[in-house]
Amino acid sequence: MDILTNKNILLGITGSIAAYKAADISSRLKKEGCNVKAVMTKSSELFITETTLESLSGNKVISEDHNSTVLSNFKHLDLAKWADIILVSPCTANFMNKLANGHGDDLLSTICLAFTKKIYIAPAMNPDMWNNKVSQSNIKKLIEGDIEIIGPNYGTHACGDIGYGRMTNPEQIIEKIKSKEMTAELQGKKVLVTAGPTREPIDPVRFMSNYSSGKMGYEIAIAAKKMGAYVKVISGPVSLEPIKDMEIEYVETSDEMYNAVMSNIERFDVLISTAAIADYKPLNYSLNKYKKSEKDISIKFTRGVDIISTVSSKYDNIYTVGFAAETQSLNKNAIQKLQKKNLNMVIGNIANHELKLGFESDFNEVTIFSKKQTIELPKAKKSDIARSILEVISDELSSNKMRLVNKDVK
């Protein structure tokens, strides 16, 4: 379940040329599972129709003309109590400055005055209006009043001027809200995540590896950070961009992965081992390239070190999470791994390229196996799967009241 699922969002739309983007915002919020109600100011009706917003939100648009008795019927209070979040997008200079000074001269502004939860605004205005001293002073007031300002962006405006004042694009607005709404369920916890494949060299030009892209591990690391944890990633060779403001240590072989984990593990509370670490590696590395010939060749493999088993057996105060990508008998194999390796949790999935699940895909479908429960998570984006996994981990950490050793983050 995503962080915005079932949230009541009141979308305020003011009179900016960027008002047409409210349609995209409404559509995206619905896809996130939100209940959306749009409130339009009189001037916004010049830029977007009620019909468009109603068809996308699934709810009747609330405007001044259609609600002449709103204030007398206390609908502004009802809407303020209904909403979990207010998003004013686009937010004009006029409405921004009005909001900063507590003015309530229309429906949207009175709803904001009566609202006791989080308000987000996405400013859209000319650069000179944004840079105006009065506007800048009011921006400080809004920040002090715990109103979240998203953007604006720098760029060319409809009038031809260049500078700050362009409304942030809808996708970034939604992501910003999601990031802010995530609760700090892992605040104070230190989470070590392994991600990606390992490469086991055969000769100077060949190695043995697997299809792991590292996407699941990186999404778990990002989600854990958003939930308040200090996170470090130990990553095998991947083509992903480094995660901003996160400590990442890159390794290549399973031995390097083992050494990196063991040299870091004592300062962490949770180990989430998403990495597809090679179970076997060549017994002998050939210093010279194997040359093509008419004969078959035979390469002997030896067992690699089992990193997560080593951690679980050595540190009973560290919460260990393993991953099991299977091609058959998922439940049986995952439960066996949970018990045999004495883990706190195993995340199991069927690796299926045809269904575009797991490994290189952006989607996954997993089952969470722990000592207490089994939870099936339907197909979803890996970012959403990551969040759901971490919510279960957080709940189990709380219910277990595990003794988590406080260590200074170096």
- What tokens does 80 get? 């303020």
What is the domain extent for residue 272? 190-400
Number of domains in the chain: 2
Q: One digit per residue, pLDDT tens: the chain, 410 residues?
A: 467 888 999 999 999 999 999 999 999 999 999 999 999 999 998 999 888 898 888 888 888 765 444 444 667 788 999 999 999 999 999 999 999 999 988 999 999 999 999 999 999 999 999 999 999 999 999 999 889 999 999 988 888 889 999 999 999 999 889 878 776 788 899 999 999 999 999 999 999 999 899 999 999 999 999 888 999 999 999 999 999 889 999 999 999 999 999 999 999 999 999 999 999 999 999 999 998 887 888 999 999 989 999 999 999 999 999 999 888 889 999 999 999 999 999 999 887 656 556 567 888 899 999 988 999 998 888 988 998 999 999 989 987 654 444 344 44
Q: Which of 346, 350, 370 is nearest to 358 (CA)?
A: 350
405 inside domain: no
Of 158, 181, 204, which residue is a domain's last?
A: 181
Report which residue type is found at 113: L
Same domain, 63 and 110: yes
Domain's final residue, options 146, 162, 181? 181
Catalytic (active site) residue 159: yes
Same domain, 218 and 138: no
Is 406 a domain residue? Answer: no
Rg of the chain over Cα atoms, rounded to whole angstroms, equals 26
Q: What are phi and psi of 119, to 5 degrees?
A: -110, 130
208: number of CA atoms within 13 Å, CB side? 16
Question: Does one domain contain both 342 and 219?
Answer: yes
Q: Which of 137, 153, 78, 76 is nearest to 107 (CA)?
A: 76
pTM comes to 0.63
| CA 248/CA 225 separation, integer angstroms | 13
**Alpha helices (H) in 6-46, listed in sequence order:** 21-31
Q: Which of 181, 216, 236 is the last residue of a domain?
A: 181
Domain of 115, CATH number, reads 3.40.50.1950
Q: 34, 91, 112, 159: which one is catalytic?
A: 159
Q: Give the amino acid at 80.
A: A
